[in-house]
Amino acid sequence: MAQLLLQRHSTDVHLSAARRHIRRCKQIKGGEPYAVKILSLDKVLQEKQKLTLQAKIEKEDAHDDVVLNDGDLDNSIRSLSDRCKQFDRENTGRPLLNQLFPGGKISGIIYAPLENEPDVAEQLLTRLDALEEGNPLKEHIVPIKTNIEKCRVALAASKESIKALKQAEALEEISKANLRQQYEFNYLDMVKEFGKLNAERFFPPISPAPKKKIMDADNSADTDG
C-alpha cells in the first residue's frame, strides 16, 4: 500500500511527497487532473513555510536586540557605579553608593531578568533623581533613561515577534493538514479509478525501507547469485 502523509511528518516531508506525486501524475497517463488538485495546496504550503522561516529570523533578531540593549543599559549602570565610588572617595559624608544601589551592589539590577530590568533600573533613576541639585552623579540620568527606553522598545518588539511566529506556525500546520488530506483523497480516488496496483504507481515511498529489510534483500541477491 502506498505510504500516506502523517501529521508527525515535517513540512519538508510533505512538500517532498507532494512534489514527487505531482511529477508522477504528469508522467503517467491519466494523472494530470490529480496533479491539478494538489498543486495549489503545495504552493500554499511552500509560501507558509517561507513565512514561518522569516518569522523565526525576525524572532531571533528581536531577541538579539533585547540582549544588545540590555548590555548597553548594564554598562550605563556600571558607569554610574564607578563614578559613585569615586565620588564617595572624594567626598565625606553618607556614602551614596549604598544610597543608590541596594547593599551597595549593582548585581540586583544588571542581573535582573531581561523583562524586569527596565523597571528595576527605573527605581534606580528615582533614587538618583532625588539627590541634591548640582550633584554630578545626576549627569547619568539621561544615558540610563535613554537605555531603559531602548530596552522597553526592544522587549515589546520581541514579544510581538514571538506572537507572529506562533501565528505563522499555526497557519503552516493548517496548510500541512490541507495538503495531507488532499494527498489521501488523491490516493483513494485513484484506487477507485485505476485500481490499487496502478494507483500506487503515482505515489513514491515517503521514507526509506528499514536497514534490516535492505540487508535481507542484499543477502537474498547474493544467495541467488
Confidence (pLDDT) at 214: 40
Predicted model pTM: 0.82
The Cα 155–Cα 114 span in angstroms is 8
C-alpha cell, 190: 485513484
Q: What is the pLDDT of residues 13-67, one digit of tens each?
A: 999 999 999 999 999 999 999 999 999 999 999 999 999 999 999 999 999 999 9
Confidence (pLDDT) at 167: 98
The Cα 195–Cα 7 span in angstroms is 26
Confidence (pLDDT) at 209: 46
Q: Is the pLDDT of residue 163 over 90?
A: yes
In which band, very low, low, confident or very high, does the pLDDT at 208 lie, cut at 50, 70 and 90? low
The Cα 19–Cα 42 span in angstroms is 8
Confidence (pLDDT) at 181: 98
The Cα 138–Cα 224 span in angstroms is 91
Place of cell 500516506: 4
Nearest by Cα to 121 from 178, 217, 224, 113: 113
